[in-house]
Structure 1
């Protein structure tokens, strides 16, 4: 992996896209995770304006600490980086008073988790519109095109995706090259949507190295029957997520009206 060349390629791509779009720079939601840390650093490398926004909603203390450490380091390294903190906890709590919370706990909790992501998306676009910035997505290739592990119109609602062609393992290599804080490099990946420290692996049932393996096997035309034991289980997990979340990974279906009906 040509890490330095990849970094330069992404940075140039970001600069070119922003210039052609006629915008001043980027806004990035910073969560304390590796993906947002790498994305915000890549954006900072462009020399364009970068606004990092921390948006806690009953956030785990470890996530908050890592996010703040990263933002402080980024501002020290790059004069073009600014930050703001928008506490969305009161907004989230008020939202819950206006909707029905009846139903299965797991279903309600998942709906509320996705609501957190969509409140953050709204916040990012508010600041982007206010300041003439683009919302930079933080999804990697495994999340965006493998298992669809993101919220549609939440963290999936972005203007451009600088790291979406990088596997999670590749994001870590970029993070190491860009000197992302060790606390983030060593932390277990987590979406932070449930207000606790549960990891992505806890939710999915497989680690990112395992999911990368399954993604490669699928691309090679393999099926679950080709494997045994843990590999069989992991491939089934990957396939289940890949199938059920396909609606996130393809263009929105449009009902095309036959010309003879118009």
Structure 2
């Protein structure tokens, strides 16, 4: 990958889109992970106003400290970068007390995790509306179009997606070229939605490098019978997640009414 040229291409794309849309800049949720670090750095390089927002909800301290260190690093290099912190822990806890309690907790943890992401999306759009900014998405290709590892109308609720055509490994290449701080470059990827130490790999059952391989094999028309052992296991995980999350990946279905019924 021609990393520097890809960076220039994305920065030009971001700036052109924002200007043509008549908007004044970007707002990005900062998680302490590589994707939000790279996207915020790309937005900063446009020269347009870039607001980095921290939105902790029972967040692990190392995630918070990485996010703060990244924002400080950006502000040292870009005068157009500003930041805000909105601690949503009390909002989340208040929400939990208001919704009906359930005796079946099979999906409770996942539902509450997705609620965290949707509270953050709402917060980002508050700032976007306040300042005439665009919400910049942080999803990459394997997450957004491969295994659907995002929350619909949570981190999936954005105005534009600058890195959604890049694999996770390619995002790391951009991170290195952009000078993203070491603590983020070396951190295990995590969505941080469950309030514990589980990583993305723990949830997905395979690493991003493995899933990228499986995505490429699927695009080449391979099937589960083409593999054995660990490769078959990884390929099966990818196919299962890809099928299960098509409701996220595919456009929202529209019920078309036949003309004779109108």
Same fold by TM-score, threshold 0.5 exceeded?
Answer: yes
Matched, 1:220 2:220: yes
8 Å CA contact 1:118–1:155 kept in 2: the answer is yes
Where in structure 2 are the equivalents of 1:136-151 lying within 5 Å?
136-151=136-151
SS in 2 for 1:134: strand
- TM-score, normalising length: structure 2: 0.99
Q: Which residue of structure 1 lines up, in the alignment, with residue 116 of structure 2? A: 116
Q: Which residue of structure 2 lines up, in the alignment, with residue 51 of structure 1? A: 51
Q: Where does the alignment leave 5 or more consecutive residues of structure 2 unmatched?
A: none
CA distance in 2, matches of 1:104, 1:244: 22
Q: Which residue of structure 1 lines up, in the alignment, with residue 70 of structure 2? A: 70
CA shift, 1:225, in A, is 1.1
Q: Which residue of structure 2 lines up, in the alignment, with residue 164 of structure 1? A: 164
Q: Which residue of structure 2 lines up, in the alignment, with residue 21 of structure 1? A: 21
CA distance in 2, matches of 1:173, 1:197: 25
State the Cα deviation string for residues 128-175 of structure 1 (Å, max 9, x = none).
000000000000000000000000000000000000000000000000
CA distance in 2, matches of 1:83, 1:106: 37
8 Å CA contact 1:35–1:140 kept in 2: the answer is yes
CA distance in 2, matches of 1:104, 1:144: 30
1:96–1:28 Cα change, 3 Å: same
CA distance in 2, matches of 1:198, 1:46: 34
CA distance in 2, matches of 1:101, 1:23: 42
8 Å CA contact 1:120–1:154 kept in 2: the answer is yes
- TM-score, normalising length: structure 1: 0.99
CA distance in 2, matches of 1:79, 1:213: 39
CA shift, 1:46, in A, is 0.1
SS in 2 for 1:53: strand
SS in 2 for 1:115: helix
Q: Which residue of structure 2 lines up, in the alignment, with residue 42 of structure 1? A: 42
SS in 1 for 2:53: strand
Where in structure 2 are the equivalents of 1:1-262 lying within 5 Å?
1-262=1-262
The alignment of Structure 1 onto Structure 2 pairs a total of residues equal to 262
CA distance in 2, matches of 1:74, 1:25: 16
CA distance in 2, matches of 1:49, 1:106: 43
State the Cα deviation string for residues 236-261 of structure 1 (Å, max 9, x = none).
10011100000111110000001111
CA distance in 2, matches of 1:33, 1:141: 16
State the Cα deviation string for residues 85-142 of structure 1 (Å, max 9, x = none).
0000000000000112314434100000000000000000000000000000000000
191-200 vs 100-109, which deviates more?
100-109
Moved over 6 A (4+): none
Q: Where does the alignment leave 5 or more consecutive residues of structure 1 unmatched?
A: none
CA distance in 1, matches of 2:48, 2:224: 46
SS in 2 for 1:138: coil
CA distance in 2, matches of 1:60, 1:231: 33
CA distance in 2, matches of 1:59, 1:169: 25
8 Å CA contact 1:101–1:108 kept in 2: the answer is no
